[in-house]
């Protein structure tokens, strides 16, 4: 993948706190966005300039903190169901002194909608959690977006297995199949425009169609 290597060589050197989180994630097998993917997300947010972001899938707080880095004036609500990762995220957010802008809700995103509603409406919905539940997350949380809101879904190419799962394990092939179904549903949804960007692990950008479109 010479092209990907070339693009990664152009990325600026991350700060020490960012490197520390990346190293921790690698050591403890915590899935976080790939360098090109997070760089793309941050640039997209700089363009969009959202005031209020909702993230499904906090993990250790890496993407939330990087999104805040891209949009220093924004507010972020993020949801994490795993208790250990939730605690790690709180620790990282505290270390970055970002508690005033990032709120982490502990629970299953399918069950905490009522808690989230009071924190909306949101300008951006970022989906990066259980891959088989992306469509459910989409249905639950898009009603909380502003009229001009954007939905960003990560891992929609899932290690290349969505396009070709012949080399995948049965478990990976099953996940890839669920994501493939989501992608097809998303791009054919008559109420939204969606583009899938083959960067990082695949990022889908979705925006509501104007009523007259």
Domain of 107: which CATH number? 3.40.50.150
Q: Is residue 213 part of a domain?
A: no
Q: Is residue 178 part of a domain?
A: yes
Total domain count for the chain?
A: 1
128 assigned binding-site residue: yes
Q: Is the pLDDT of residue 116 over 80?
A: yes
The pLDDT tens digits for 4-14 are 889 989 999 98
Domain span including residue 95: 2-208
Q: Count CB neighbours of 169 within 10 A.
A: 10
108 assigned binding-site residue: yes
The pLDDT of 50-67, averaged and rounded, is 97
154 assigned binding-site residue: yes
Q: How far apart are CA 22 and CA 114, in angstroms?
A: 32
109 assigned binding-site residue: yes
Q: Is the pLDDT of residue 66 over 60?
A: yes
Confidence (pLDDT) at 43: 97
CA 173 to chain centre: 21
Q: Which of 183, 211, 209 is nearest to 197 (CA)?
A: 183
Report the predicted TM-score, pTM, of the whole model to 2 decimal places.
0.94
Q: Is residue 164 part of a domain?
A: yes
33 assigned binding-site residue: yes
């Amino acid at each position: 993948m010479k092209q990907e290597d070339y693009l990664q060589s152009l990325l600026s050197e991350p700060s020490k706190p960012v490197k520390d989180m990346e190293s921790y994630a690698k050591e403890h097998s915590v899935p976080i966005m790939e360098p090109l993917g997070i760089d793309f997300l941050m640039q997209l947010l700089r363009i969009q300039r959202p005031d209020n972001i909702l993230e499904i899938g906090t993990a250790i707080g890496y993407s939330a903190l990087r999104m805040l880095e891209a949009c220093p004036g924004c507010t972020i609500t993020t949801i994490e169901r795993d208790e250990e990762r939730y605690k790690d995220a709180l620790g990282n957010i505290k270390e970055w002194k970002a508690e005033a802008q990032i709120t982490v809700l502990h629970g299953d995103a399918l069950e905490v909608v009522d808690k989230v509603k009071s924190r909306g409406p949101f300008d951006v919905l970022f989906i990066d959690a259980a891959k088989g539940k992306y469509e459910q997350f989409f249905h639950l949380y898009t009603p909380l977006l502003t009229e001009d809101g954007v939905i960003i879904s990560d891992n929609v190419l899932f290690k290349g297995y969505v396009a070709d799962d012949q080399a995948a394990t049965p478990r990976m092939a099953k996940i890839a199949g669920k994501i493939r179904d989501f992608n097809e549903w998303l791009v054919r949804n008559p109420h939204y425009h969606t583009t899938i960007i083959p960067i990082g692990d695949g990022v889908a950008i979705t925006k509501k169609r104007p009523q007259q479109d």
